[in-house]
A and B are shown apart, each in its own frame.
Chain A
Amino acid sequence: MFKYIIRRILWMIPTLWFIVSIVFFAMHLLPGDPAIAILGEYATAEALAHLREELGLNRPLLLQYASFLGGLVQGDLGISLTNNKSVTQLILRMLPYSIELALSAIFVSIVIGIPIGIVSALKRNKFIDYAGRTLALLGFSTPSFYLGILLLLLFSLKLDLFPMIGGGKEGDLISRLHHLVLPALSLGLVNASMVMRMTRSALLETMGEDYIQTARSKGLKEMRVIAKHALRNALIPVIAVIGVYVGVTMGTAVLTEIVFNRPGIGKLLVGAVYNRDYPTIQGTLVVFAAFIAIVNLLTDLSYGVADPRIRYE
């Protein structure tokens, strides 16, 4: 297992290098001038030329690439072209908000999706199953940012139960949690639909297996048959989906961050793309890619917990 983990971590290095390189060259191929994005459309030609020189944008592309890789290896993600702040510092400031949002959205999707999926599977083709599937369809069809606005309208504007904007006071856990509820719900409810459907179909498939019949014929109580035998196997594909969703949620959280005016690296990345802020784009994507690689590794390792037959060498 240890060797497996080390091997996976080592594989991350060429994967990240590949992603970073694609992003670097793709960004430089896009139209648009970072100098104009920084100085504005009224900047003089001289000012623009001077800035391009100062930022090294006139250097040969391969030289810029080598310089970027050199900094990356030393843990230096560079300086933002637009606000002169360290990209590492910018990311470190925003990342905790993004992680807490992604993880809480996943928590919501698990807490809501799995129980409804189980009930739906057990009460197949009954009213409760139809209701569950309809809700799942609604959830799946609703964009998270739209759901976010509806939640704001009801729970913040009308009922005044939750704040509307911001990520909460730094260092104040209660404030952070209070600001997290609605954004987590808006992202989590959409994911919960998929988790619910996955749980339902996996459980239905498992419930039809021979060993479940055997367990019942042995006289075990139905709840024990489901909880100890069926659910554990049914959860393996659900774990896979949840693992994928962690990465997807991090990537799609930008719209939620905008609607709820939360800090986050999604917003950081989108803003950097608009401004052609190459160091911030590259730095943010390195972090994203590393995060997803780690989540994939953890997801793979969790299979071993769910299914003891799985061994890693």
Chain B
Amino acid sequence: MVRRILFCIMLIALSLTITSPMVFSAEPAEKQELYYAISGRDIRSADPAFGTSSVELPIIYSMFDALVRYPPGNEGNMEAIEADLAEKWDTSDDGKTWTFYLRKGVKFHKGYGELTAEDVKFTFDRLKEEGAPWAKDYKNVAEIQIVDPNTVKFQLKKLDPFFLSKLTNFHGGFIVSKKARIKLGKQFKMEPVGTGPFEVGEYRPKDRYILVRNENYWRGKPILKKIIFPFMPDIASRTLAMQKGEVQMGPGKNDEKWVTVARKSNLIVDVEFQMGAASWIHMNMARKPFNDLRVRQALMYATNRDEFAQFFGATVAKPLYSHVPPGAFGALTKDDLPADLQYPYNPEKAKKLLAEAGYPKGLNIKMFLSEKGSYMTPMTVLQEQWRRVGVNIEFQTVDHPTYHSKIRKDENTLIWYNATRTPIAGVYMTQWFHSASIVGKKTAITNFSHYGEVDVNGDGSTADNSIDELVDNAATELDRDVQKKLYAEGQMRLLRDLPAVPVKLQRYVFARQKYVDLGYEPENCMIYGYHLTEKTRLLKH
């Protein structure tokens, strides 16, 4: 009898354990130590001038502020830009002079004194002097003047209606300590100094990066005491660690199945909150066979973008119809495009175009490809799609840095590329399709197709084979509607001339434990990960 009672009690207890949901109090947990998994083997740089990869951005964002910022959870929305280190600002009538009035009493980490205009000037001057990747975003800045210790003036060469977005907490906008940069020298790369809610605790190469709270943070002492970023490149162990709660948040796997399984466990999975990375396959039009428009059109018709969305899952991948991803200011969607520029999947038409171009039996193309999953997997899908129309792609796999080195030396005729940029159509169009950005030039960025300098349709002329004028005019146009029209025309031209095949928009998957309170609603995010603020906390669980 006693045994039966005990057995029933055990069953009831067991069922409660399995079926009862974890209940979280709104009270903060006693231990405010957060583990945030990083998917890379290590970070390349914690210095915001050089930290460009998805791996280091969550760390950098926690350590620095900017003159202005997107509110947490609402990044990329230019209408929402608000004051950060600058209390207020004003612009001259001609739009070429911007004056920022700094907050007083903001202190740098590690006792490096108070923020002054000198630090702001130094931050942006060093981008050019040190050859930082973000320097190109500030080419239009003629001079930065220190008016007084709390006032700084930016003098622009040309009017730039988007200038404020370049000073936000994104890419080059993070303000660093001049004193620390000079004193620490090379050490600054991995142990930089800013004004953000968290400061460097310890960097353990190939192991983890540790941040500790900035006790004197000007927005208020952060709730989290410590953030540990273990480097966990293996998705299986990262998933298990997140499910167990030894790691409270981190990147997941960018596919539907992972999202479904993770949501069934006790994780919140965030997918829709970031703009995502656009993927294109660029074709080098300076070389055969891609100098022929019919070949490029054929490959456009041979690409089944809906199949990509199916392969990765509709939650994480969407077809991309324009060269500018949706969500960016001025981007066109499928509905904005005329039928002939939507290029619906049509393998028969693709074969016909290839035959007309002189390739009735198809083509063989060799290319280098990065071994990174986000490059290899979709290219494998594309390889199979193009094989159906007789185009055979042969990959030579190289590591990711080598791939980027080679494509910038113009060694590939086909280039797969994934990227997220400031959500303005002009930024995407400039970096990938402006003639000044052609690889190999001094002003090179990532124009792999040589668009803007080659004859795109075989008529012997390069006139009207460029979007340079449209993009340049939009960059100095104050009327938003006129800007949108210029960007729209540029995108139509790109779809007509096809320097690249727009393939998909990939959303990255992130997960967190339910007891992680970010301190804001993650509606829009531009970085590859969660933005941790002074309000982020762990709840009792």
Contact = CB atoms under 8 A, between A and B. Distances in A.
Contacts of A61: none
Nearest to B56: A40
| Size band of the interface chain A makes with B | 35 or more
Interface in A132-172: 145, 148-149, 152-153, 156-157, 160, 163-166
Interface stretch (B12-20, B117-125, B228-236, B533-541): B228-236
- Considering residues A149, A164, A276, which has the most beta carbons from chain B within 10 angstroms of its beta carbon? A164
Interface string A47-71: 1101000000000000000000000
B73 to A, nearest CB: 26
A95 B234 CA distance: 21
Contacts of B133: 39-40, 42-44
A83 B192 CA distance: 12
B44 A80 contact: no
Interface stretch (A112-120, A220-228, A232-240, A254-262): A254-262
B53 interface: yes
Contacts of B442: 45
A128 B136 CA distance: 71
B404 interface: yes
Nearest to B243: A157
B408 interface: yes
A85 B206 CA distance: 12
Given A33-B402, A33-B405, A260-B237, A270 B205 contact: no
A165 B228 CA distance: 12
A165 B186 contact: no
A96 interface: no
Interface residues of B, number: 47
Contacts, number: 133
Nearest to A268: B206
Interface string A27-42: 0000111001111111
A30 to B, nearest CB: 8
A145 B236 CA distance: 10
Contact of B405 (A36, A157, A259, A268): A36
Interface string B24-52: 00000000000000000110110000101
B132 A47 contact: yes
Contacts of B186: 84
Interface string B238-282: 001101101100000000000000000000000000000000000
A136 B132 CA distance: 55
A201 interface: no
- Considering residues B135, B206, B236, B404, which has the most beta carbons from chain A within 10 angstroms of its beta carbon? B206
26 contacts: A32-B405, A33-B401, A33-B405, A36-B401, A38-B45, A41-B404, A41-B408, A42-B52, A42-B134, A45-B442, A46-B131, A82-B42, A83-B203, A84-B190, A94-B206, A149-B236, A149-B237, A157-B240, A163-B246, A164-B240, A165-B241, A268-B206, A271-B41, A271-B42, A274-B41, A275-B44
Interface of A: 31-33, 36-48, 50, 80, 82-85, 90, 93-94, 145, 148-149, 152-153, 156-157, 160, 163-166, 258-261, 263, 267-268, 270-271, 274-276
Given A42-B133, A275-B44, 9 more contacts: A31-B406, A32-B401, A38-B44, A47-B130, A83-B205, A94-B206, A165-B247, A267-B206, A271-B205
Interface of B: 41-42, 44-45, 50, 52-53, 130-136, 186-187, 189-190, 203-207, 230-234, 236-237, 240-241, 243-244, 246-247, 398-402, 404-406, 408, 442, 444
Q: Which 6 A-B pairs have the closest CB atoms?
A: A47-B131, A42-B133, A41-B404, A32-B402, A37-B401, A271-B41
